[in-house]
Structure 1
């Protein structure tokens, strides 16, 4: 990892930006983002609401996403084994997982929430499992194919690709649902997974100088031993858990919130998703470039504060009610600042991993990243009912404070030089 004092020229940034490595990060981000909201997010939420499922049960469907929090359990298998001879460790696993994921999405389209919620739950769980498995390999590939000083821009493009996938599945899916059945929406999304599959077939397998685990025991045990031997290892896990908890809690209930105050699905799909998409793209790109100028610590702190401030737009919208300008303002501020914070957050996690155990260590960190989205967001429906919409979003803003406080504990080693970090044995060394 480069020193915080390192600065890049505009020409250097442009050469990195247009490289094939960055195009691969963008397309793999798209493939990772597409399935997320199909399993427990806005598309499924809208389908369940139209089927007459109560708000509390819709909130409980966040538990379907448990694989995102537990993926470190099977990540060592993806570090240890090469499933398809000739394709390499990362590309081979990606091909198998993406084919299984496409089959699971198609299967979810054949279910019916008015007939059998358990069957819907099982199908959604399979989508989440294979989606989480794809994330393990995509995160490892990006970490291994990019140099440390490229992680910021790589994370920016990955996040923007991820958001394009979210936009297509959620915004596009909601608009389509006004014209075709929800089941058909899911079948359309199967076809939308093809760019990710093509990327897997044509990308280059990364070469790892650090070597790979030679035994299953080495793949399972050593990543955790190596990580927990570092300075602030436990505090970093808590930081990863809490940095974006407020935003994730808010996002879990935004679709029911918009519907509750009178917006149609087409208004949500058009304004919330399309308008907010551009704010996220701009935010992600600004975040990636500013990281090279500000350094990692200052970027994480500034973007985290802005992310919390961005949630106040939802409080204002709760007071305004059905207001298209109010909706546009709320979505712009939230998505702009969230895009910046996510870029810094993803790059931070990538630079913490040892390339010998990339899949397992990154899965451990990103599993904690998923806990707020799955476990801590589970009671959000009940919180919204208890606090009201204004109180709920104010609570989400306050939830960002613990993560920002933890960040201040890391400033010493995040601002130090690479040599001093290595000597002290800290996480970034």
Structure 2
């Protein structure tokens, strides 16, 4: 199956995969925070749960497995990519189902483990879907279409789970809310299982499903044990280092996340001299990442700087967009309507424009449009802050914000996809997309402190300027051409 032969079916498939990845996100972040608050958990502890959304930053640690290892059973009929997607969907459904069964939050350690598992399997699904997307449509035009489809599903699911999760919880309790979303998360599994055999596989569907489900159960239990032990060791290490509960661990997280990239930067002269059979390039764990630095050389550092800046303004704006509207006098109901109907429609339109632009325009022009649209979406909150409250102002500001972010997001995903080596699509995309949001998310932790110093006007002027600054990188990053070599033996 290729993008050229079946564009409609592929777009529908990636809408579904985007929906699968977007559905759990708020259930282990925003909705979980509301659930913990309802059970009397203090705000400091709830803030610590917010660190779960940093897990995708570390996805490069296990992304090579998705590129190089078959899921037992599933791969016999469905192939490597689909096997990982099916395993991840079972993991998401099982994690959310377990969160429904433990919805009273009597043990915060159990709640934290289950939320982390939901985030882990959601991230794994994204890694597998990204790798498959890049393999199926390696060109710019194909990536534009599939990216738009994927983001349509993703953003729609995020809005649905956030709204439905809270509404169901309000009427029927938290167990019902998580149970319903867990059920929705399981729906794509039979769709994938019903697709035709992978061209490179030769097994029987029934045998593959039977063995795969059994293997998946063992893998899910093992992943729970591994993450549980890892969390226990991490908390013990932080306590031994004198980090008190509730203290900021942002510098620690930043140091841990940047360490591999700093090591690669110092090793660049050696990496550039490596031959195709060098152990560092053939290593299953490090090879995909060494390959990225080998292909781009010193300009890889500029590329990493660019991807960190391009979406930074959007991340900062998202941190305070609700607070600025509340501070300006808008009610929760008004904001809810804006963030529901208006934001979803504008976001999907922005994604469609971004997908169209990347399919029809030179990449540099599309990236510039995305950066400027994002900047306008950030700056519009200055207008909202200075204008008397009005539904029209609220809806226009929210629409421009979400439309600009959707457009920039679609273009950015295509750009990252075109940077990767098709031999390591999942691993290298995980590297770039994880790094792209590391620094912005960590800076966003200090968004409140920044606003106190420079006010809402200054904050949103700054976030818009950061988005627009991406244009300044374009004359340099668009010249980046990867070098090629024979494949390692």
Aligned twin of 1:348: 415
Q: Give SS of 1:88's match.
A: helix
Contact 1:56–1:382 (Cα < 8 Å) also in 2: no
Quick one: structure 1 residues 288 and 184, their matched pair in 2 at CA, closer, same or farther if it must change by over 3 Å? same
Cα distance between partner residues in 2 of 1:205 and 1:408: 45
Corresponding residue number in structure 1 for 2:290: 225
How far apart, in 2, do the equivalents of 1:390 and 1:55 lie? 27
Confirm or deny that 1:31 pairs with 2:20: yes
For the aligned residues, what is the CA RMSD? 3.2
Give the gaps of 5 or more residues in structure 1. Answer: 1-12, 209-215, 414-420
In structure 2, do the counterparts of structure 1 residues 116 and 402 end up closer, same or farther at CA, with 3 Å as the change threshold? farther
Query: CA offset at residue 349 of structure 1?
Result: 1.1
1:358 maps to 425
Compare relative contact order (CA 8 Å, sep 6+) and give the higher one, 1 or 2: 1
**Structure 1 residues 153-162 or 316-325, which shifts more?**
316-325
Match of 1:378 in 2: 445
Q: How does 1:235-384 map to 2 (within 5 A)?
A: 235-258=302-325, 263=330, 265-320=332-387, 323-372=390-439, 374-384=441-451
* Maintained 8 Å contact 2:59/2:123: yes
Q: Is the Cα contact below 8 Å between 2:90 and 2:186 reproduced in 1?
A: no
Following superposition, the deviation at residue 312 of structure 1 comes to 2.1
Q: 1:78 matched to which residue of 2? A: 66
Are the counterparts in 2 of residues 249 and 372 from structure 1 also a CA contact under 8 Å? no
Q: Secondary structure at the match of 2:285?
A: helix
- Residues 72 and 367 of structure 1 are in contact (CA less than 8 Å); yes or no, is this contact kept in structure 2? yes
Tell me the residue number matched to 1:125.
Answer: 116
Q: Offset at 1:226?
A: 1.7
Paired with 1:234 and 1:242, the residues of 2 have a C-alpha distance of: 13
SS of alignment partner, residue 400 of structure 1: helix
The alpha-carbon deviation at position 366 of structure 1 amounts to 1.5
Q: Which structure has the greater CA radius of gyration?
A: 2
Q: Which moved more, 1:336-345 or 1:163-172?
A: 163-172
The C-alpha deviation readout for 1:218-240, integer Å capped at 9, x for no partner, is: 43232122211123222212222
- Rounded to whole Å, the distance in 2 between the matches of 1:144 and 1:130 is 21
How has the CA–CA distance of structure 1 residues 59 and 204 changed in structure 2, closer, same or farther, with 3 Å as cutoff?
Answer: farther
For the residues of structure 1 that align with 2:42 and 2:380, how far apart are their CA atoms?
26
Distance 1:335 1:347, change over 3 A: same
After TM superposition, the score normalised by the length of structure 2 is 0.72
Mark the CA change 1:389 to 1:302 in structure 2 (over 3 Å): closer, same or farther.
Answer: same
> Offset at 1:183?
4.2
User: Does the Cα contact within 8 Å between 2:103 and 2:174 map onto a contact in 1?
Assistant: no
Match of 1:187 in 2: 179
- Please report the TM-score for the alignment, with normalisation by the length of structure 1: 0.82
Q: Work out whether 1:234 is the aligned partner of 2:223.
A: no
CA 1:177–1:388: 2 relative to 1, 3 Å: farther
Change (3 A) 1:321 1:73: farther
Contact kept, 8 Å, 1:34 with 1:193, in 2: the verdict is yes
May I ask how many residue pairs the two structures share in their alignment? 398
Q: Which residue in 2 is equivalent to 1:410?
A: 477
Question: 1:37 and 1:206 mapped to 2: Cα distance?
Answer: 33
